[in-house]
Amino acid sequence: MRVIMFLVMALMLTPVSAAPVATYEFASEEQEALFNKLSNELRCLVCQNQAISDSNADLAKDLRDEMYGMLQQGMSEEEIVEFMVVRYGDFVLYNPPLKPMTWLLWFGPVFALLAGFFFVVRIINRQKKAAVVEMSSEEIERLKTLQSEAQAVIKSEDNKNR
């Protein structure tokens, strides 16, 4: 029974690959690697959370064909990315370029982290300070009398024990 359960669970773990089967033939391995790299870095605009490589949308297929054609013509990675950005904007890039428009995107998280760090340090410092309690002069007096009383008790106890 356990074995069957284990097998069923193992089956559940196998990733279901729904990625479109590539039927392209490449002149070289580098070309194929570049094709795979680019199609993973470019967003499919129809189903926006998928890359061109793993989308079954019609447009994604067209763009794969287009990219394949451009690679066959010997276009470089930069030229192909440029082709896509000119037509669909920076939005097609999963790796957005660094420019004033995207500063918040790039530096926002670092800023948030630093701000959080700053507040944590401030809170810790404040708690440290709060731990040192200032006593009033009456309290100091009272403490002194208590201490001397206690010492007197200890002394008398000592004398008894001897």
Residues at the interface with other proteins (CB under 8 A): 45-46, 48, 58-59, 62-63, 66, 85-89, 91
SS3 label, residue 43? strand
Question: DSSP code of 51?
Answer: B
User: What tokens does 68 get?
Assistant: 């394949």
- Least Cβ distance, residue 132 to other proteins (angstroms): 20
Tokens 């070289």: give the residue.
Answer: 28
- Least Cβ distance, residue 87 to other proteins (angstroms): 4
Biggest distance spanned by C-alpha atoms of the chain: 107
- Least Cβ distance, residue 81 to other proteins (angstroms): 13
Residue 35 or 43 having the CB closest to other proteins: 43
Residue 16 or 86 having the CB closest to other proteins: 86
- Least Cβ distance, residue 106 to other proteins (angstroms): 17
Rounded Cα distance between 92 and 38, Å, is: 11
Residue 108 or 152 having the CB closest to other proteins: 108
Residue 29 or 58 having the CB closest to other proteins: 58
Decide: 95 and 40 in contact? Cβ < 8 Å.
Answer: no
- The residues pairing with 43 across neighbouring beta strands, listed in sequence order, are 51
* Angle at 129 (CA atoms; ends 124, 132), nearest 5 degrees: 135
